């Protein structure tokens, strides 16, 4: 017996043996021709009667019944185990439930590590953050599908179930228009307690470690504890660390605040387009466009800012500081003579470009001098020049072409360098305030003037550029 069907009628006419099956859902009737002898005929009414006698009152396909009878008489119908459908009721269409189609997958609640092609696990990428942009289409809410009542072969109605609407709960910064859910801010797409929302702040409740992984967030990142060694944090709108930052990498297009200080171990790095604030710096590199404020000390660190360095109660010991808008510091250097450099009134980006061009010009100049030492004596002696073999003349010509090329490059670089130096004459503060002590051995640069401090000077003092005398003046502010 065919699966999913019940035998309801059977006729064995000698030269014709056929069966009638009704499907389990009572929505389809089918013939099975078990045997058809040559020359066998069957009337269409006979087949119809078998169907009606089985109780079928709905959905008979009379054309199909006629075709089967004609095919039997023509000898083109063959016996087979297959079922041939001759009547169909109307199957019910159940209503589909409403659903939410996510175009952006909400941020994960648990870590999902990335696996590389060689099946290595990247433990620092946990996929806990799904960044979305303001006005981004996040999801579409689909309404329930309509239900259609059915009717079986015996005329009985087949009940249906209406689709249920989906309940969508929207939290902060998520809005729905015409069944589409959009973000109202840049942030992290979150599904929490069946509520969809977009959070512009990503809070790390503990440390940035292997349970969190590297952080790359389009909004503000707030870290309640520490950033451990060798992890990276990027918060486009800002990064706030309540604890300590280790030998990590922290960057932002906004501000960076490290309330517990930074132990960079020579690898720690901070970059911000806004301000940077910290309790202390120890062996860290910090680069920013606004002010750098340090409460206690800056030790063996490199600090570059287009703003002002503000450390009035602290010390700068070792390393270097470059601040375009001036420096306000407690003490600079130490009585141990640790090499320390402070620079005010200089744009670090322009200074870096100048240093790069100067290094390139020096390299080209050395190459020009090398070639000149080779070709100069030959060109100065006409007899020696005329005595050269053809191969040596060819080599000399190559050196002269190379010399001409280097001279042109040198001129172009010098022109670019002069243009960059003109850019450096912009808004800047040409003074340094030292409130407690300026130790000997400290290198001071203000604008285009430099001075090596040979004897310690007790503060408060103000250091200013003295361009006329090409030095730096020191004025005592006592009294």
Each residue of 19-65: pLDDT tens digit? 999 999 899 999 998 888 888 888 899 999 999 999 999 999 999 99
Does the pLDDT value for residue 357 go beyond 70? yes
pLDDT the model gives residue 304:
96
Q: What is the pLDDT of residue 14?
A: 83
Mean of the per-residue pLDDT values of the chain: 89
**pLDDT value for 123:** 62
Please indicate whether residue 305 or residue 393 has the higher confidence score (pLDDT).
305
> What ranges do the domains of the chain cover?
5-88, 99-144+159-199, 201-327+334-349, 350-423
Q: DSSP letter at 60?
A: B
Task: Read off the pLDDT of residues 259-293 as tens digits, 9 standing for 90 and up.
Answer: 999 999 999 999 999 999 999 999 999 999 999 99
Residue 426 has pLDDT above 70, yes or no: no
Give the CA distances from residue 372 to residues 109, 177, 385, in Å, rounded to whole numbers and listed in that order. 69, 76, 15
- Residues 135 and 137: their CA atoms lie apart, in Å, by 6
So what's the pLDDT on residue 113? 56
Report which of 325, 294, 329 is spatially closest to residue 460, judged by C-alpha positions.
329
Say yes or no to pLDDT of 402 above 70: yes
For residue 220, what is the enclosing H or E element? strand 220-223
Q: For 14-28, how does the pLDDT look when each residue is reduced to its tens digit (9 = 90+)? A: 888 999 999 998 999
Residues 408-420: what's their mean pLDDT?
84
Place of tokens 């800002």: 238
Closest CA to 306 of 288, 319, 328: 288
SS3 content of the chain, % helix, strand, coil (to 5): 20, 40, 40
Domain 99-144+159-199, CATH number (from 2.40.50.100, 1.10.3720.10, 1.10.101.10, 2.60.40.3140): 2.40.50.100
Average pLDDT over residues 104-123: 66
**Whether the Cβ atoms of residue 444 and residue 425 lie closer than 8 Å to each other:** no
- If pLDDT is split at 50, 70 and 90, which confidence band does 410 have? confident
Q: How many residues would you count in the chain?
A: 479
Per-residue pLDDT tens for 132-143? Answer: 999 999 999 999
pLDDT for the residue numbered 237: 95
User: Which pLDDT score is estimated for 87?
Assistant: 93
Lowest mean pLDDT among 108-112, 244-248, 433-437: 108-112
pLDDT of residue 227: 96
Q: What is the DSSP string of 340-384?
A: EEEEES--HHHHHHHHHHHHHHHHHHHHHHHHHHHHHHHHH-HHH
Say what the pLDDT of residue 229 is.
95
Q: pTM of the entire structure?
A: 0.73
What integer pLDDT is reported at residue 118 of this predicted model? 65
């Amino acid at each position: 017996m065919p699966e999913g069907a019940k035998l309801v009628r059977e006729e064995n006419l000698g030269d014709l043996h056929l069966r009638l099956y009704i499907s389990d859902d009572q929505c389809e009737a089918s013939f099975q021709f078990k045997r058809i002898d040559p020359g066998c005929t069957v009337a269409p009414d006979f087949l119809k009667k078998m169907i009606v006698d089985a109780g079928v009152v709905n959905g008979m396909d009379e054309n199909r019944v006629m075709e089967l009878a004609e095919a039997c008489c023509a000898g083109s119908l063959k016996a087979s185990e297959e079922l041939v459908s001759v009547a169909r009721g109307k199957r019910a269409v159940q209503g589909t439930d409403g659903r939410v189609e996510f175009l952006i997958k909400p941020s994960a609640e648990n870590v999902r590590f990335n696996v590389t092609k060689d099946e290595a696990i990247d433990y620092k990428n946990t996929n806990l953050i799904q960044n979305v942009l303001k006005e981004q289409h996040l999801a579409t809410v689909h309404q329930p599908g309509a239900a259609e009542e059915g009717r079986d072969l015996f005329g009985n109605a087949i009940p249906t179930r209406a689709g249920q609407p989906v309940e969508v709960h929207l939290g902060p910064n998520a809005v729905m228009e015409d069944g589409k859910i959009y973000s109202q801010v840049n942030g992290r797409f979150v599904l929490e307690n069946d509520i969809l929302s977009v959070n512009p702040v990503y809070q790390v409740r503990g440390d940035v470690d292997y349970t969190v992984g590297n952080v790359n967030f389009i909004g503000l990142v707030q870290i309640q504890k520490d950033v451990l060694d060798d992890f990276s944090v990027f918060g486009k709108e800002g990064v706030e660390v309540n604890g300590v930052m280790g030998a990590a990498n922290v960057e932002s297009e906004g501000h960076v605040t490290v309330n517990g200080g930074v132990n960079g171990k020579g690898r720690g790095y901070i970059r911000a387009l806004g301000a940077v604030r910290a309790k202390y710096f120890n062996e860290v590199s910090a680069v920013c466009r606004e002010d750098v404020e340090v409460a206690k000390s800056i030790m063996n660190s490199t600090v570059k800012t287009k703003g002002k360095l503000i450390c009035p109660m602290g010390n700068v010991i070792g390393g270097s500081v470059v601040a375009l808008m001036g420096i306000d510091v407690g003490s600079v250097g130490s009585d141990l003579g640790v090499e320390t450099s402070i620079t005010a009134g200089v744009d670090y980006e322009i200074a870096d470009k100048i240093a790069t061009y100067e290094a390139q010009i020096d390299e080209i100049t050395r190459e020009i001098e090398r070639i000149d030492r080779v070709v100069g004596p030959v060109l100065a002696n006409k007899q020696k020049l005329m005595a050269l073999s053809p191969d040596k003349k060819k080599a000399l010509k190559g050196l002269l072409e190379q010399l001409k090329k280097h001279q042109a490059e040198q001129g172009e670089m010098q022109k670019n360098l002069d243009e960059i130096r003109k850019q450096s004459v912009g808004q800047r503060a040409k003074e340094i305030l030292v409130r407690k002590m300026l130790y000997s051995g400290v290198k001071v640069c203000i604008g285009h003037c430099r001075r090596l401090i040979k004897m310690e000077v007790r503060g408060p003092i103000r250091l200013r550029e003295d361009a006329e005398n090409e030095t730096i003046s020191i004025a005592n502010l006592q009294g």
